[in-house]
């Protein structure tokens, strides 16, 4: 009934005659258009809202009140007078999901509009969801419009959990998911009807190319085919731990990863850590593939360390990965690659920050990534030789004596990036 384009500047002139109008109102009454039943008025407004526009009632020529929003309009009671309704482009809202919300995240997302931000209180979200298609794997949280889903308190306290034949999240283009633990998701375990790229891939998250995970902990998810933790999309400042792809790409497949830690993931064939991914400033370690590319198979890597990965056959750290400014063994072909021991702080205890004398420090090429895995702002002069260069890996080493930007504040006291932000993530922006 109401086209989208027409909404922007359309002005409805609606006669709204209340049931109990008992005022002396003779003067204006002559100018009124024919009477519009209440039900028609509400129907028009609902159509306007359904099309995504907010409704503002700009003028009510009546004797007793001025209405300013649709909520009051709905419960307004008896009125009379011509009503001018101006529709506006939708204004992004922030929707707060409280603790123990009776509504599932899926219900809240379904009611949200594109551009909204949904802020989620701490808790474990393991109910609800639906099928994206009829291929067998369900999804706990389907985000099929561009919006931001952000935890209030970070991944330690806010968990999205999958289940049997249920992955955790689907993201369409323009979606940001910020600050969650994403765990326990799995695709169908078998089934001839499953499409290997959709139903059987992406145990934790399945993403269109323009979806982004930020500051998420992706842990213990399983895909039958590709991408145990993540299939497609992008991940920034995320940790992938203990995910499994029965086929290939234990942590991620077909994704772009920046400042991510990829550790202890497994794949049945290629790419215990990643398969066909673009890696920027990642640390890929202690992953395992049964065949080749324990750390990473195919794809590209820059400023990335791939060490202590293994396979049953060969090519323990990487297989057919185009590398620059990477640290691995054997050394990759391409500019800036090194094959030194990475000098992690404590490999046995899984602490993969560089030690003070690590070969990773200031050995990368400068990058567009603004912050490291834990929010340290790049790039820093890690060896204090007055030349700030990016480090290799997910962490940027802070030299206790350096002041990389020369502003009198030592690097160790400079502000850090807020963990639960993505764009505008640089404090100065
Ligand atoms: Ca550095
Ligand atoms: Ca400084």
Query: CA triplet 49, 87, 28: central angle to 5 degrees?
Result: 115
CB-CB contact of 427 with 377 (8 Å): yes
* pTM for this entry: 0.80
Question: Regarding predicted confidence, which is higher, 20 or 204?
Answer: 204
Q: Tens digit of pLDDT for each residue in 303-344?
A: 999 999 999 989 999 999 999 999 999 999 999 999 999 999
Q: How far is the CA of 255 from the centre of ligand 1 (A)?
A: 25
Question: d(Cα 120, Cα 103) in Å, to the nearest integer?
Answer: 12
Among the bound ligands, the one closest to the CA of 391? 1
- Residue whose C-alpha is closest to residue 21's, from 84, 76, 85: 76
Percent of the chain with pLDDT over 90: 68
Output DSSP code: residue 18: -
From the number of C-beta atoms within 10 Å of its C-beta (0-12, 13-18, 19+), residue 226 rates as buried
Mean pLDDT on 109-128: 96
Mean pLDDT on 101-122: 96
**pLDDT for residue 84 is more than 80:** no
133-169 burial, b at 16+ Cβ within 10 Å, e below that, comes to eebbbbbbbbbebbbbbbbbebbebbbbbbeebbbbb
Q: Tens digit of pLDDT for each residue in 18-69?
A: 222 222 222 233 333 333 444 455 565 666 566 555 554 443 333 333 333 3
Instruction: List CB-based neighbours of ion ligand 2 within 5 Å.
Output: 403, 405, 407, 409
Q: Tens digit of pLDDT for each residue in 130-179?
A: 888 777 899 999 999 999 999 999 999 999 999 999 999 999 999 999 99
Task: Quickly tell me which residue has 């992406």 as its tokens.
Answer: 202
Question: d(Cα 308, Cα 285) in Å, to the nearest integer?
Answer: 5
Instruction: List CB-based neighbours of ion ligand 1 within 5 Å.
Output: 362, 380, 382, 391
Q: How far is the CA of 427 from the centre of ligand 1 (A)?
A: 18
Q: How far is the CA of 341 from the centre of ligand 2 (A)?
A: 29
Look at residue 193 in the predicted model and tell me its pLDDT. 63
Strand order in the sheet with 288-289: 222-223, 244-245, 266-267, 288-289, 310-311
Q: How far is the CA of 397 from the centre of ligand 2 (A)?
A: 14
Helix (H) or strand (E) holding 295: none
Q: What is the mean pLDDT of the chain?
A: 82
Look at residue 52 in the predicted model and tell me its pLDDT. 58
Q: How far is the CA of 385 from the centre of ligand 2 (A)?
A: 14
Helices (H), 115-180: none
Output DSSP code: residue 40: H
Question: d(Cα 124, Cα 181) in Å, to the nearest integer?
Answer: 9
Task: Quickly tell me which residue has 């979806």 as its tokens.
Answer: 211
Token readout for 350 is 């899984």
């Amino acid at each position: 009934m109401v086209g989208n384009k027409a909404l922007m500047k359309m002005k409805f002139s609606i006669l709204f005659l209340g049931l109990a109008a008992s005022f002396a109102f003779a003067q204006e009454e002559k100018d009124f258009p024919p009477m519009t039943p209440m039900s028609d008025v509400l129907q028009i407004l609902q159509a306007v809202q359904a099309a995504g526009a907010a409704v503002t009632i700009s003028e009510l020529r009546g004797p007793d009140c001025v209405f300013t929003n649709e909520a009051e309009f709905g419960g307004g009671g008896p009125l009379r007078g011509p009503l001018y309704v101006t529709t506006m482009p939708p204004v992004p809202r922030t929707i707060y999901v409280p603790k123990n919300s009776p509504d599932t995240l899926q219900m809240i997302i379904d009611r949200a509009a594109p551009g909204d931000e949904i802020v989620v209180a701490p808790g474990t979200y393991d109910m609800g969801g639906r099928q994206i298609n009829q291929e067998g794997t369900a999804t706990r949280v389907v985000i099929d419009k561009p919006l931001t889903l952000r935890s209030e308190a970070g991944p330690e306290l806010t968990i999205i959990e999958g289940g049997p034949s249920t992955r955790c999240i689907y993201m369409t283009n323009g979606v940001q998911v910020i600050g969650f633990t994403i765990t326990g998701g799995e695709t169908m375990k078998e089934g001839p009807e499953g499409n290997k790229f959709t139903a059987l891939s992406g145990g934790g998250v399945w993403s269109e190319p323009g979806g982004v995970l930020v500051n998420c902990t992706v842990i213990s998810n399983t895909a039958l085919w590709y991408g145990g933790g993540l299939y497609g999309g992008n991940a920034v400042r995320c940790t992938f731990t203990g995910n499994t792809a029965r086929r290939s790409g234990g942590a991620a497949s077909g994704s772009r990863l920046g400042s991510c830690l990829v550790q202890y993931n497994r794949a049945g064939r290629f790419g215990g850590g990643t398969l066909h991914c673009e890696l920027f400033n990642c640390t890929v370690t202690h992953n395992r593939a049964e065949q080749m590319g324990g750390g990473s198979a195919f794809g590209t890597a820059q400023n990335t360390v791939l060490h202590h990965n293994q396979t049953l056959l060969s090519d323990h750290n990487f297989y057919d990965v185009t590398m620059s400014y990477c640290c691995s063994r054997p050394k990759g072909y391409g500019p800036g690659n090194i094959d030194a021991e990475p000098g992690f702080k404590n490999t046995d205890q899984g602490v993969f920050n560089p030690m003070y004398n690590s070969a990773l420090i200031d050995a990368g090429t400068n990058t567009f990534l603004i912050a490291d895995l834990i929010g340290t702002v790049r790039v820093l002069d890690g060896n204090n030789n007055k030349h700030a260069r990016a480090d290799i890996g997910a962490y940027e080493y802070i030299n206790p004596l350096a002041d990389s930007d020369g502003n009198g504040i030592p690097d160790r006291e400079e502000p850090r990036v807020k963990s639960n932000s993505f764009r505008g993530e640089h404090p100065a922006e």
